[in-house]
A = this chain, B = another copy of it.
Amino acid sequence: MKNVVVIGIGLIGGSMVKDLKKLRPEIKIIGVDANEAHITAALNSGLIDETGDLAVVADADVVILSIPVDASVKLLPEILDLIADDTLVIDVGSTKQDICKAVEHHPNRRNYLAAHPIAGTEFSGPQAAINDLFKQKTNIICDVEKTAFKLQERALSLFSDLGMRIRYMNPESHDKHIAYVSHLSHISSFMLGKTVIEKERNERDIFDMAGSGFASTVRLAKSSPEMWTPIFKQNKTNVVETLNEYINNLNQFKNLLESDDFEAIFDEMKNTNRIKDILKGIA
């Protein structure tokens, strides 16, 4: 591996090449980004060695595609048109169905690997890139059998260097499950933030009363709308389903409150406490 192209030098793409550069200093990192300020920042901080236009993928051993998921769906076929025979293209987006569908009949489909590293922070842009973001994190690979075996090996070696645990899944299951453990919690957090901000308009200084529990619960409401709007768009059906279930559970809890059934409220919380065991090792 000599040339790595990263398209979209933000939190995920940026953190990946940051680790790669540290682990394999001989690799040349070429950054492509529609945002000039990102390019400048990434060059200045040494996150990338060079920049260029999309044509640079022709000489790449690995292309990391880390841009919003709607842009990825459009750009991936173009990238596959431009690459060399043994270029590996990895996308790291949070939805997998639309992108896999977009290239299913592309003659270079075997050069592409669909991945979703479950890692990140609520920050974005090249300045959000950090070392070791992927250590011990789960990386979901979809439709692995559609990628050329030699390129699968190259990808796995790269992911192994970053310290990731691999799980295999089809794109449909990925999008369905990730709606529960990621997309829904972003919406619950955004709407919690909204509810309290709306209240604050009338009740000044309400946030003086907020503690670390509130901060933890609304942390994801800091996330980038540029990144999350296309995710919700692509995964609309699954996200609406999780929202229905979540809203039902909230309504049911409210009904228990209104009917003074505090035994049932106690049981609801007691049953959900088992999240303690479930979360061990994630936080």
Q: Which residues of A contact B (CB under 8 A)?
A: 118-122, 137-138, 140, 167, 176-178, 180-182, 184-199, 203, 206-223, 225-226, 228-230, 232-233, 236, 239-240, 242-247, 249-251, 253-254, 257-258, 260, 262, 265-276, 278-279, 282-283
Contact = CB atoms under 8 A, between A and B. Distances in A.
B282 A210 contact: yes
A233 B265 CA distance: 10
A182 to B, nearest CB: 6
Q: How many copies does the complex hold?
A: 2
A225 B264 CA distance: 11
Given A118-B210, A181-B210, A239 B218 contact: no
Given A180-B196, A254-B244, A262-B232, A214 B282 contact: yes
Which of A182, A195, A251, A253: most chain B Cβ within 10 A?
A: A195
A222 B273 contact: yes
A222 B197 CA distance: 25
A208 to B, nearest CB: 6
B283 A209 contact: no
B254 A247 contact: yes
Contacts of A210: 118, 181-182, 278-279, 282
B274 A197 contact: yes
